[in-house]
Amino acid sequence: MLELEASPEIDPICAHCSTPLRKLLYQELRGMLGRRFIYYCSHCHKVLGVSHRKGFWMG
Ligand SMILES: [Zn+2]
């Protein structure tokens, strides 16, 4: 069992360029499936993740 602990003093590290992330860039994607957001590193611009929220009614 893993514990979840907030650690705002530790910067996340980019999985691609190993730069500490103090800022995460994102762009909004719109399409048939609804709104999504793509997140990417402000340093190397490689994609770190995409939100899977399909709409407010689906959470
Ligand atoms: Zn990076």
Tell me which residue of 52, 38, 40 sits closest to 16, measured CA to CA: 40
Which residues 6+ apart lie within 8 Å of 39 measured at CB?
24, 25, 26, 47, 48, 49, 50, 51
pLDDT at 56: 55
The mean per-residue pLDDT over the stretch 29-57 comes to: 83
The mean per-residue pLDDT over the stretch 47-56 comes to: 77
Tell me which residue of 26, 16, 17, 31 sits closest to 50, measured CA to CA: 26
Q: In angstroms, what is the span from residue 9 Cα to ligand 1's centroid?
A: 19
Q: In angstroms, what is the span from residue 59 Cα to ligand 1's centroid?
A: 29
Q: pLDDT tens across 3-12, in order?
A: 999 999 999 9
What pTM was estimated for this model as a whole? 0.69
Q: In angstroms, what is the span from residue 35 Cα to ligand 1's centroid?
A: 24
